[in-house]
Structure 1
């Protein structure tokens, strides 16, 4: 077993126990089941669990053992030091993301209908974009904005749309009607990613997906691929959308999203 080859077997086994309990999403696991899952003796697992309980990393329940409250403090300390722009750049480098398209990271304003771009990486075929780092753009015309708007609750979306009619028009393709926007956002939810088909800049196609977990941390974020619309066949669009969603999940995992990765 891997823990037996470790320089610190007890630490390695403790980490394995925490992994098992994390997979249970809050449900406690009995000692016998933990020992079975780890392929270890109950006495050994019991000793480690008791030590983790004493340290606050686990809690004892009638059903067995669960994750302890002290882990919350560690998670908060980790997330406080995470820089989403740095992680975005690291993820793009590690994945070799979008050799052709421009990759961007944007956040949704706390209120209203604007997105602000935080970072970008130009692809092998750079394009002229309306977005600039730090410059706000309408969330209703951009793929990143629509991806994030699609995840809002109906009351929050209604509050943001109140008094916004007509919606901004950047090109002839821009959606200016709230009802049409709602239909488009429903399509985003069904599709799993958002599209800007020449709505911000004519001739460009942009695909965007939200970064899991960022909305719950206080500010939703999304990533996008942008290229010339003529270069996107239906098959390529689906291939790039799959890569985009994978990139978003990896970034979400780095930001601490529990279900990403």
Structure 2
């Protein structure tokens, strides 16, 4: 029997039609678009009446009611008869949870890290907390000959790391106190913050401005700017940073670089389902 040629191999099913990028009216379902407008608006409220939803989404009460009852049958919304209010239903949470199960912070971060490196010209890093350290899990290196390098798997003490301090600044007072009491505040350079009071002051400033600075605190001649990344529950689950030699990551450049890091952290937070982070 003749072996099948490439052209004779079974064709894989397509996930999109040929005209998938055609967003004209012929390829959109207006009724579904109207339903999603109601659903998304309802998700931003703590409950809304039929008339409020109709007015806020610029649709008739009759259309809005048909949308709500259809979604109610699917468990996406529910109705409180006593208060006469519509709410997001439990099925919406289950669908969102399925999305979160397939969402990897590393996978989501990769294109964002690349854009951050290209925007700043410096090495972009992703790290997560592991006990008293930051674990670097992804990196996009700068093209510059002199650059920071933290291969995936590298551990760095949180008190001497830009990402570490960005995450410490998001801790509650009780959790931060436990961390400081148990984590050794080792000195690596003359700039390392080893005094608990000085570290707390630095973290307070970090929280106020939204980003952390590792000012040669781990490695002499290297500076890092980092911001926290939040998940859908508002928890700081990771940090993004740019790192480079002090000759390029200079103090006058701090705000420009910090703005880029903050935008990247907001983009990743939004990709993980955080509200209002985009």
Same fold judged by TM-score > 0.5? yes
What is the 5 A alignment of 1:60-139?
A: 60-61=79-80, 62-93=83-114, 97-109=118-130, 111=131, 113-125=132-144, 127-129=146-148, 131-139=150-158
* Paired position in structure 2 for 1:8: 29
Asked if 1:28 corresponds to 2:28, the answer is no
Greater shift in the superposed pair: 45-54 or 84-93: 84-93
Q: 1:232 to 1:220 in 2, by over 3 A?
A: same
Counterpart-to-counterpart distance in 1, 2:115 and 2:183 = 40
**Structure 1 residue runs without a partner (length 5+):** none
Deviation at 1:253, TM superposition (A): 0.9
Determine which structure has more spread, i.e. the larger CA radius of gyration. 2
Q: Is the 8 A contact 2:117 2:140 kept in 1?
A: no
Q: Helix, strand or coil for the counterpart of 1:104? A: strand
Counterpart-to-counterpart distance in 1, 2:54 and 2:27 = 18
Deviation at 1:5, TM superposition (A): 7.0
Which residue, 168, 192, 196 being the options, matches 1:178?
Answer: 196
* Paired position in structure 2 for 1:222: 239
Deviation at 1:23, TM superposition (A): 2.2
TM-score (norm 2): 0.83
Deviations along 1:198-257, one digit per CA (max 9) or x if unpaired, are 11111111000000227856x720000112212245442111111111110110111111
Deviation at 1:125, TM superposition (A): 2.2
Q: 1:126 to 1:145 in 2, by over 3 A?
A: farther
Greater shift in the superposed pair: 167-176 or 193-202: 167-176
Deviation at 1:185, TM superposition (A): 0.7
Counterpart-to-counterpart distance in 2, 1:175 and 1:76 = 40
Q: Helix, strand or coil for the counterpart of 1:108? A: strand
Deviation at 1:47, TM superposition (A): 0.5
* Paired position in structure 1 for 2:11: none
Deviations along 1:159-210, one digit per CA (max 9) or x if unpaired, are 1222445x11222211112221111111111221000011111111100000
Q: Is the 8 A contact 1:106 1:116 kept in 2?
A: yes
TM-score (norm 1): 0.89
CA root-mean-square deviation: 2.4
